[in-house]
A and B are shown apart, each in its own frame.
Chain A
Amino acid sequence: MNVAELAEKLRLEVCCGASGLDREIKGGYASDLLSDVMGNAEEGQVWITLQTHKNIMAIASLKELAAIVLVKGYQPEEEAREESEAEGLPILMTGKQAFEITGEIYELLKNTTSAPPL
């Protein structure tokens, strides 16, 4: 499944970085601690978080994550937005809180990816 399909199926709003919507998703990681994501997230995962500052893009890019999903209607800060566009690494948004959207993404990926989703 790619980022575009995930966004469509779960009605996530594509905020920026739309040129990367074809990035393939290999799983997910939910955390608001940046060092936790830095140390433990894997390439190709979607990252579910409420952090909105530019460093989320630095981490997503360094770790080659597929996309970032911001929860509870949070919007990315301007610098994060610019970086997302430049990198072609999408930031998606949902009004749902982390527990709900993580569960939905887990359910979806469980049935579509060959690798264990989380």
Chain B
Amino acid sequence: MEFNYTIERGNFSGAGVASSNIKKVLKQLNVDNALIKRVVIALYEAEINVVAHAWEGQIHVRIKPHAIEMVIADKGPGIPDIDRAMQEGYSTASPEVRAMGFGAGMGLPNIRKNCDELNIESKINVGTTVTMIIHL
């Protein structure tokens, strides 16, 4: 099964649509609840990252027999230093985004904690592609 979603910069109201839909699908498929929780955390954080930092993004979720593969590809400023971005507490979010309670530097660490495989590729002023895999 495959699912596609589009996300755009600044549309905080639309954040959570993909994670909410995928959650419903996984529940219908009787996937283990603990696993669904991990998928939801990782995907929601990835959605927020695009809304907060990129210009626009595409989410592609593939539910395979042994894994859930989520690819979030955005057009955006890119991440200059991925190692630093992975550090808890480090954030480049705007004051507006921080005022909403986002931008605490916990998004990528949350993603890492909940994925079995994580790959981030980024090009400055082109965009970032985050691939998250959770084994079933």
A contacts, CB < 8 Å to B: 32-36, 38-39, 43, 49, 51, 53-55, 58-59, 61-63, 79
B contacts, CB < 8 Å to A: 12-13, 15-16, 19-20, 23, 37, 40-41, 44-45, 48, 100-102, 104, 106-107, 109-110, 113
Cα–Cα, bound, A55→B97 (Å): 12
Say which residue of A34, A39, A49, A54 sits within 8 Å of B13 (CB atoms).
A54
A residues near B20, Cβ cutoff 8 Å: 58, 61-62
In the complex, besides A55-B100, A55-B102, A62-B23, 4 extra interface pairs with C-beta distance below 8 angstroms are A34-B102, A51-B100, A55-B16, A79-B13
Cα–Cα, bound, A43→B48 (Å): 21
B16 A38 Cβ-Cβ under 8 A: no
Cα–Cα, bound, A39→B19 (Å): 14
CB distance from A63 to the nearest CB of B (A): 8
Cα–Cα, bound, A92→B37 (Å): 25
B residues near A61, Cβ cutoff 8 Å: 16, 20
